[in-house]
Amino acid sequence: MKKIILSLAVCLLPLHGLFAQGSSNVNHLNLCVGALYERGFDATLSYEHETKYHHSWEYFANAYIQYDTDSEAGHITKESFWNNYFTYNLGIAYKPCVLRGRNHHGNLRIGASLGSDTRKVIGAGHIGFEHSYDFRRGWSLFWQVKEDVVLRGEDLFRTGVTVGIKVPL
């Protein structure tokens, strides 16, 4: 029994410093995933440079997949999910802080990106709101409500919610 308790304590010891607000001006590596209307999933990997008062710049790579039902099977299949419509973008976003609290802050997210849908070049404008919950040592959890306006894509508007984690660098 003592070995189990000691093993559990050793495993949980690194988690001790995660809970409490981190400091401002920390660079982060962000990873978020989410669902977008209509029938889409989104994943974003980004580098975030935070400036004073939680304002920040974000440089991101985004992948979006839109699924559809298989016309022969009548439901979503592996083929109709992965082979329907796919885009990827590289972009930049400015995120001014509009809400500050003790261990959280909210940012407006305004950006633009350029990418491809594997057949042609597409561009996108991004606007949304991001709310981050800060922990000790710069770690954060966040959610975003976003609206993407895609030029030359199959869908003009993409609206959705994503959740993610910010890892301090």
The pLDDT of residue 2: 60
| Total-model pTM | 0.79
Helix (H) or strand (E) holding 7: helix 2-12
The pLDDT of residue 74: 83
Going by C-alpha positions, the residue among 127, 130, 131, 129 that lies closest to residue 158 is 127
Main-chain phi, psi angles of 98, to 5 degrees: -115, -5
Main-chain phi, psi angles of 77, to 5 degrees: -115, 170
The pLDDT of residue 156: 87
Distance CA 155, CA 70 (A): 19
The pLDDT of residue 24: 59
The pLDDT of residue 111: 97
Which residues of the chain carry a pLDDT beneath 50? 15-22
Q: Residue 17: what residue type? A: G
pLDDT tens-digit readout, 40-53:
999 999 999 999 88
Which DSSP category does 154 fall into? S
| Strand ranges inside the chain, DSSP E | 27-37, 40-50, 56-66, 85-95, 97-100, 104-116, 121-134, 140-151, 157-168
- What is 27-168's CATH topology? Porin (2.40.160)
pLDDT tens-digit readout, 70-86:
888 888 888 888 888 89
Q: Residue 112: what residue type? A: A
The pLDDT of residue 11: 58
Cα-based distances in Å from 1 to 5, 9, 13: 6, 12, 18
Distance CA 26, CA 103 (A): 15
**Token code pair at residue 25:** 């001006």
